[in-house]
Amino acid sequence: MAEQLKNILLDGAWRQNTGLVVLLGLCPLLAVTNTLINGLALGLATMLTLMVSNLSVSALRGLLRPEIRIPAFVLIIASVVTVIELLMHAYFYDLFRALGIFIPLIVTNCAIIGRAEAFASRHGPLPSLMDGFATGLGFCITLVLLGALRELTGQGTLLAGAEMLLGDWGNYLTLTIIPEHPGFLLAMLPPGAFFGLALLIAARNALQADKAGKPAQAVSNLSAENLVGNSHET
């Protein structure tokens, strides 16, 4: 059991990382990552959604006949996301405003319905919860890295806007890494997100190639297979 959970964690967070390998949920990934904090907040919200939706789907899996599986998933995911949206609106108001439309749009992140279909509807509650956590963690890490990269190159800071997540003392967390940064527009605009993501994917492939002692080429072929194998439903 422990071995299985560890495998699920590694799969979700690294081997099948949603943002870097499976390449699902790219719209929010590219849109909100102009700062680290925005990325972190959306990452956490997505992780929570994945865990709750995986758990509910797994609990209901014996009852769901194939023809109503997808509509049932959609209902569950939409309810969960709306609850998260209401709670954020009430308790993290500034963050809610900063992330705007991307909170309700978590519904359309096909990674979530993908995990419900490919994993939670075939496994027990505990592994499913773990899978939601691991996939969410992988997505969150990608968002945070991309956010940090773009924030640093774009405006020379890290953790700007931390007060939206943490309250007033978050103001002291903002690090000005490059003082008097003139601002690098490209990093802040949507193209910067694509470049940043490409760099992260390349870095991951290089790491992977290092480990396997194989050229990076082989790794990217592998990821292409994973992509096809894993996302046929979404």
Partner 1 sequence: MNNSTHPVLRSGLLLGLIALLGTALLAGVNELTHERIAEQEKRRILQQLNAILPVASYNNNLLEDVIEITDEASFHHPAPVTVYRARKDDQPVAVLMAVTAPDGYNGAIRLLAGFDHSGSVLGVRVVAHRETPGLGDPIEVEKSDWILSFMNKSLLDPQAEGWAVKRDGGQFDQFTGATISPRAVVKAVHNALVYFDANRQSLFDTSATNPERDNG
Q: Please report, as ranges, the residues that interact with partner 1 according to CB under 8 A.
A: 34, 60, 63-65, 67-68, 71-72, 75-76, 78-79, 82-83, 86-87, 89-91, 93, 154-155, 183-185, 188-189
Nearest to 20 by CA among 222, 188, 162, 234: 222
The DSSP element (H or E) to which 176 belongs, if any, is: strand 175-176
What is the residue type of 136? Answer: G
> What 3-state DSSP class applies to 158?
strand
In the complex, what is the shortest distance from the CB of residue 72 to partner 1, in angstroms, rounded to a whole number? Answer: 5
147: which 2 tokens? 């956010």
CA distance 74 to 182: 45
CA distance 100 to 82: 13
193 and 33 Cβ atoms separated by less than 8 Å = yes
In the complex, what is the shortest distance from the CB of residue 87 to partner 1, in angstroms, rounded to a whole number? Answer: 6
Which is closer to partner 1, CB of 83 or CB of 199?
83
In the complex, what is the shortest distance from the CB of residue 176 to partner 1, in angstroms, rounded to a whole number? Answer: 14
Which is closer to partner 1, CB of 2 or CB of 63?
63
Which is closer to partner 1, CB of 14 or CB of 184?
184
What is the residue type of 214? Answer: K
In the complex, what is the shortest distance from the CB of residue 74 to partner 1, in angstroms, rounded to a whole number? Answer: 10
Which is closer to partner 1, CB of 46 or CB of 153?
153
In the complex, what is the shortest distance from the CB of residue 75 to partner 1, in angstroms, rounded to a whole number? Answer: 5
Q: Phi, psi at residue 158, to the nearest 5°?
A: -135, 145
Which is closer to partner 1, CB of 23 or CB of 160?
160
The DSSP element (H or E) to which 157 belongs, if any, is: strand 157-158
